A and B are shown apart, each in its own frame.
Chain A
Amino acid sequence: MRYRMSVVVLGILLAAGLAVLGGPASNNLVIGASQEPSNLCPWEGAADTKENLMGIFNVGLTYIDSSGVLQPGLATEIPTESNGRLVVVRDATGQVTRQQVVWTIREDAYWSDGVPITSDDAIFTFKVQNTQEMMVTTRAFSNLVEEIVKIDDKTFRITYGTPNLFYSSVGGSIGLARFYDIAPKHIWGPVYDQVMAQIAAKPENASTIIEGQFLGAPSSTGTGAVVGSGAFKFVEWQINQFIRFARRADFFLAAPGPASNYLQEITVRYIVAQPTLLSGIMAGEIEACDDISLAGMEPAVLRAQLGSQAVVEVTASGFIEKLNFNLFPSCQVAADLLLGDKRTRQAIIQAIDRDDLARTVYPGATVSNSFLVDGDIGFDAALNPWPYNLAAARTLLADLGWADSDGDGTLERTVGGRAIEFRLHWVATTADFRIRTGEILQEMLADVGIKLEVENLPGSVVFSSEYLNHGSECTWRGIVEYAEAGGIGQAPADPLSNELWANDLLEVPVDAELENTPLPENSFGGTNIMGWVSAEFDQLRADALREFDPDKRSAIVKLMQQLYNEELPTVPLYDRSEIVVKMAGLVNYTKGTAAARTQFWNTWEWGWAQNGAVAVR
């Protein structure tokens, strides 16, 4: 008898837990994501995990509207030469050498706790960014800034030592901080002062102080006031579970119709495993997912599983997955394989069936042949597509002196009495799709006699500078595969983008230092981990960066791509697709343009059609 009672109670409890919550009924949204950020500090963090999240409760100086046009966000207007806010200094050839940009912040721009946003905030943000001891993730953009000056409470002027066309780029990432340029001084100021004082008192504890008090400040861990500039305000963060936001009444941008028609609350749930995420979607517990959590899943399978209750959207991500070759002459293993000769790389690209590869491991991805993506200025769609051509690959390899002399299926050649086998080392992270890529490439390259030695290492190893930046010392000896954002210096500032240059040619007078190529001389700093040095490419790049006329810039960029496409210092595989799943009825939760790189813009427009939200994108 007691047994039966307990079973009944159990059943009731189980059923009670099935209660459906959220969704159109309560005008909320539950987003599922796989990577939880470490903290909410605006200066530090990896792009993937934090960019989306910061976009919910922050807005940039500019934003892209529903038609793909850049609009002023926190700013009153976008600086251009005609309204006098942008002042460029050109040299004799018409190229830009310096520029100054004046921004004015809107009168009705307030932080989520009611304090007005002022230029003091911007200047403070830059001050923190430039403090050498601070663990900021990248200074790639802030290094371009020469100085920032306050003009009045709402206006400030930035002077760039290096020209930057995208001073007003998407997300407003002008380089003052990693995420959303302006951080609240009234919140972070005291934290910063306290941290610097403690460091001055006890310098040997600097790292613990910064980790504990700066990155671990209450405003960063969510235990204190988290203040942002965007449409939603932070409510709570249950670590390893979820983060919640609520709509702000005093936000200055709005979608058509009453604000009550749009989302009132957003919850981001963190679920690491894909099957768990999917089951949550199918059970209705999760109503949308972010753009990275379902990477590598087959859209057809998702559609089959979800039916008409959800929409599966596949878009280009703007990130190109590519094979980076070790081109350092000092790495004997790589040099023996003649990786420095462009014919080797051309042979390899033709030995890989990139269509098949993309289709298998990253459904929805499109094959790429450039270092730019569709939507970037000057993108050339007419480059040599290097189609799958085993015969051409074999011919090129034979020309280089390779032959399978002992019949074991792997090519050999002899150099000065030494017999060298074509064993190519390949490294990538342990992400599922990369493990599969390794196996597929192994098989494809075996057909031309190249033995691919596959090694999947954790991301913390692959992306550590000790590993990646020491290619000249043969830490990685052949290929390392990862993805990089397309573009040559566009925002959002991504430390991995733009790795093809060696000398920035910015010094006056121009010096021969290869800043960007990791070598002993420059203490292995820089992002050109392949060691590709092309004076022609560097010159074109320097010219392009200083050319603000879109057509002229396009022309130069096209030349750069043609050079890249011929030389192939890296072999581009595919432009990764993004899969976003959202419940039917959720509107404006979409990227819009490819250049937007994420759909977490314009959170004020998100809503349920069932509640009257109007679809503008």
Chain B
Amino acid sequence: MTDTTRTRSKQVEVENELQTHPGESQWRYAWRSFRRHRLAMAAGVVLVILILGAIFAPWLTPYDYARQNRSNMFGSPSLRVAADAQTIDKCARPQVLWWRCGAHPFGTDDLGRDILTRVLHGGRVSLLVGFSAAFISTLLGSLIGAIAGYWGRAVDAFASRLIEIMLSIPQLPLLLILVGLLANPGVRFGAMLTGVLGDSKNIVIIIVVIILLSWMSTARLVRGQIIALRERDFVEAARAIGASRMRIVFRHLLPNVASVIIVQATLMTGEAILIESGLSFLGLGIQPPAVSWGNMLSRAQGFLYYPNGVYTALFPGLFILLTVLCVNFVGDGLRDALDPRYHGRA
């Protein structure tokens, strides 16, 4: 029994080993490997659908996300259209594909607004924050980690100490303090930001704060990788021909670490989305009348006891779950595909 179990898993592993094609680039191989990871592919497709849905949200629904209809608050989810919906619902357009004005597939919220429409629009904010925060944070972290790893000594000591201090401060409270400060008109800096950014101040603040608090993990990771790669032959060779340090870092080291960075960026996106929704839920993130999944949930808490009130909570949360889940599956698949050491482990 024991032997067969062991050999079976070994066998399966051997079977799953993807054969490399002659002359194939690392990326081609990675793509083929990714394609074989069914869950990740499916998740990727769903993610693309979500992203497209968010981008084209204004054109995909018959409703305006802010248009209230106070005679139809807490409507039940249904695909059927109410009697004289056209006049009541003041739609932006009468029909989009099969979706007619007056039908509310996810129901309506506490001010009569269509929930599906708001979920789609909320996705724009949440996805924007998630992707940009993750992307920039990973870039920043990679840069700092690479410089710290390659320069070594004093620079490394300083960077490592900085990372340690930042990681020791309780993350969530620091987030709260920073957002509270920057969004507060009474603080001089906050008032200045309002002047410069206007309406989009909140989104920018959240993105900046998330970046400030999440670059550390990427930095550590990249630093470790750089240190490991530092003594390798090709780096030695580059140094021998007199390449500058910056050039070595950017042209030789970072590309080798690229796969790790990509995976990190993907996984960070999920985290950033969760942080943004958590902040908005606490009331510090995106402020109404702008809509994000987090602030939809924040309002929904008080309506659980209302008939149909649960739908205002159910759907935004479900979409957060779906998005983050897909991002995580895709990230996992990428890790499988790009980093041969993880093959079969994850």
Q: Do chains A and B touch in the complex (CB under 8 A)?
A: yes
Interface residues of A (CB under 8 A from B): 273-275, 278, 296-298, 301-302, 304-305, 356, 360, 430, 432, 435-436, 438-440, 442-443, 454-457, 461, 464, 466-467, 475
How many Å lie between the Cα of A454 and that of B291 in the bound state? 13
Q: How far is the CB of A429 from chain B (nearest CB, A)?
A: 11
The answer to whether A298 touches B111 (Cβ under 8 A) is no
Inside 8 A of A301's CB, which chain B residues have their CB?
305-307
**What residues of chain B lie closer than 8 Å to A456, measured between beta carbons?**
287-288
- CB-based contact B186/A466 at 8 Å: yes
Complex interface: stretch among B66-74, B92-100, B226-234: B66-74
B307 to A439, Cβ gap below 8 A?
Answer: no
A440 touching B305, Cβ below 8 Å: no
Q: A443-B68, A466-B186 are in contact. List 11 more A-B contacts (CB 8 A).
A: A273-B301, A302-B305, A305-B305, A436-B110, A438-B289, A443-B67, A454-B288, A455-B287, A456-B287, A456-B288, A475-B186
Do A275 and B283 touch across chains, with their CB atoms under 8 A apart?
A: no
Closest to A453 in B: B199
Dominant secondary structure at the A interface: helix
Q: Is B111 touching A436 in the complex (CB atoms < 8 A)? A: yes
Residue contact B301 to A275, C-beta cutoff 8 Å: yes
- A430 near B283 (CB under 8 angstroms)? yes
Q: Which residues of B contact A442 (CB under 8 A)?
A: 66, 289
Knowing A430-B283, A435-B299, A461-B185, the reply to whether A275 touches B70 (Cβ < 8 A) is: no
The answer to whether A432 touches B302, judged by C-beta atoms less than 8 angstroms apart, is yes
> Residues of A contacting B283 with CB < 8 Å?
430
Are A467 and B307 closer than 8 Å at their CB atoms?
A: no
Interface mask (B293-328 → A, CB under 8 Å = 1, otherwise 0): 000000101101111000000000000000000000
| Nearest A residue to B283, CB-CB | A430
**Which A residue's beta carbon lies closest to that of B73?**
A360
Across the interface, do A278 and B305 meet the contact criterion of CB distance under 8 Å? yes
Mask of B268-305 contacts with A, CB within 8 angstroms, 1/0? 00000000000000010001110000000001011011
Residues of B contacting A297 with CB < 8 Å? 302
How far is it, in angstroms, between the C-alpha of A523 and the C-alpha of B185 when the chains are bound?
21
| Bound CA–CA A360/B287 (angstroms) | 20
The answer to whether B184 has its CB under 8 Å from any CB of chain A is: yes
CB contacts (< 8 Å) of A274 on chain B: these are 302
Find the A residue at minimum CB distance from B198.
Answer: A453
> Among B186, B288, B304, which residue has its beta carbon within 8 angstroms of that of A435?
B288
Known pairs A278-B305, A305-B305, A430-B283; A467 contacts B111 (CB<8 A): no
Q: Is there contact, CB below 8 Å, between B306 and A298?
A: yes
Q: Within the complex, what minimum Cβ distance (angstroms) separates B232 from chain A? A: 54
Of A273, A443, A457, A475, the residue contacting B66 (CB under 8 A) is A443
A250 to B306, alpha carbons, bound, how many Å?
46
Provided the pairs A360-B111, A443-B67, A464-B186 are in contact, do residues A438 and B288 lie with their beta carbons within 8 angstroms?
yes
Tell whether, in the assembled complex, residue B185 and residue A432 are in contact, meaning their CB atoms are under 8 Å apart: no
Q: Shortest distance in angstroms between A575's beta carbon and chain B's nearest beta carbon?
A: 20
Q: Closest B residue to A302 by CB, please name it.
A: B305
Q: Are A356's CB and B70's CB within 8 A?
A: yes
Q: Which residues of B contact A304 (CB under 8 A)?
A: 307
Query: B184 is contacted by which of A440, A443, A461 (Cβ under 8 Å)?
Result: A461
Residues of B within 8 A of A (CB): 66-68, 70, 73, 110-111, 184-186, 283, 287-289, 299, 301-302, 304-307
Give Cα A464–Cα B186 distance, bound, in whole angstroms.
10
28 A-B pairs with CB atoms under 8 Å apart are A274-B302, A275-B304, A298-B306, A301-B306, A304-B307, A305-B305, A356-B70, A432-B302, A435-B288, A436-B110, A436-B111, A439-B66, A439-B111, A440-B68, A440-B70, A440-B111, A442-B66, A443-B67, A443-B68, A454-B288, A455-B185, A455-B287, A457-B184, A461-B185, A466-B186, A467-B185, A467-B186, A475-B185
* Least Cβ–Cβ distance between B11 and chain A, in angstroms: 35
Given contacts A301-B306, A461-B185, A466-B186, contact A432 B67 (CB under 8 A): no
* Closest residue of B by beta carbon distance from A296: B302
Q: Which residues of A lie under 8 Å from residue B299 when comparing CB positions?
A: 432, 435
Contact between B289 and A454, CB atoms less than 8 A apart: yes
- B288 (CB) vs chain A CBs: closest residue: A435
A279 and chain B: residue at smallest CB distance: B305
B185 lies within 8 A of A439 (CB): no
CA distance A274 to B304 in the complex (A): 10
Across-interface contacts of B302 in A (CB, < 8 A): 274-275, 296-297, 432
Report the minimum CB–CB distance from A357 to chain B (whole Å): 9
A436 to B186, CA, bound (A): 24
A200 CB to nearest B CB, Å: 34
Inter-chain contacts of A278 with B (CB < 8 A): 305
Note all chain A residues with C-beta closer than 8 A to B186: 461, 464, 466-467, 475
Q: Nearest Cβ in chain B — how far from A463, in angstroms?
A: 12
CA distance A475 to B185 in the complex (A): 8
Given contacts A435-B299, A440-B111, A466-B186, contact A275 B305 (CB under 8 A): yes
In the assembled complex, the Cα of A475 lies from the Cα of B188 at a distance in Å of 12
A382 to B: closest C-beta gap in Å: 29
**Across the A-B interface, the 8 shortest Cβ-Cβ residue pairs:** A275-B304, A301-B306, A439-B289, A360-B70, A435-B288, A274-B302, A443-B68, A305-B305
Closest chain A CB from B181 CB (angstroms): 12
Query: What separation, in Å, do the CA atoms of A615 and B111 have in the docked complex?
Result: 40
From A430, which residue of chain B is reached at the shortest CB distance? B283
- CB neighbours (8 Å) of A430 from chain B are 283
When distances are taken between beta carbons in the complex, the residues of chain B under 8 Å from A440 are: 68, 70, 111
Please name all residues of chain A whose beta carbon is closer than 8 Å to the beta carbon of B185 when the two chains form the complex: 455, 457, 461, 467, 475
- Interchain nearest-CB distance for B305 vs A (Å): 6
| Chain A residues, Cβ within 8 Å of B289 | 438-439, 442, 454
Residues from chain B with Cβ under 8 Å of A296 in the complex:
302
A439 touching B68, Cβ below 8 Å: yes
B178 to chain A, nearest CB (A): 15
Q: Is the CB of B288 within 8 A of A439?
A: yes
CA of A443 to CA of B73, assembled, Å: 16
Residue of B nearest to A356 (CB): B70
Bound CA span A455–B199, Å: 10
Q: Nearest-CB distance from A295 to chain B (Å)?
A: 11
- The complex places the Cα of A439 from the Cα of B73 at a distance, in Å, of 14
Query: Whose C-beta in chain B lies nearest to the C-beta of A275?
Result: B304
B184: which A residues are within 8 A, CB to CB?
457, 461
Contacts of B304 in A (CB 8 A): 275
**Bound complex: CA of A461 vs CA of B181, how far in Å?**
11
* Whole-angstrom distance between the Cβ of A274 and the nearest chain B Cβ: 5
Closest CB of chain B to A156's CB: distance in Å? 44
A241 to chain B, nearest CB (A): 21
Alpha-carbon distance A445/B343, docked complex (angstroms) = 60
Write out the residue numbers on chain A whose beta carbons fall within 8 Å of the beta carbon of B288.
435, 438-439, 454, 456
Closest B residue to A466 using CB positions: B186
Q: How far is the CA of A305 from the CA of B283 in the complex (A)?
A: 28
Roughly how many angstroms separate A7 CA and B129 CA in the complex, as a whole number? Answer: 44
CA distance A296 to B110 in the complex (A): 12
Which of chain B's residues has its CB closest to A446's CB? B66
Residue of A nearest to B309 (CB): A301
With both beta carbons as reference points, the residue of chain A lying nearest to B110 in the complex is identified as: A436
Rounded to whole angstroms, the CA-CA distance of A464 and B66 in the bound complex is 31
Name A282's closest neighbour in chain B (CB-CB): B305
Q: How far is the CB of A470 from chain B (nearest CB, A)?
A: 10
Measured CB to CB, the nearest residue on chain B to A456 is B287
In the bound complex, residues from chain A placing their C-beta under 8 Å from that of B110 are: 436
What's the nearest-Cβ distance from chain B to residue A360, in Å?
Answer: 5
| Closest Cβ–Cβ distance, residue B196 to chain A (whole Å) | 16
Closest to B306 in A: A301
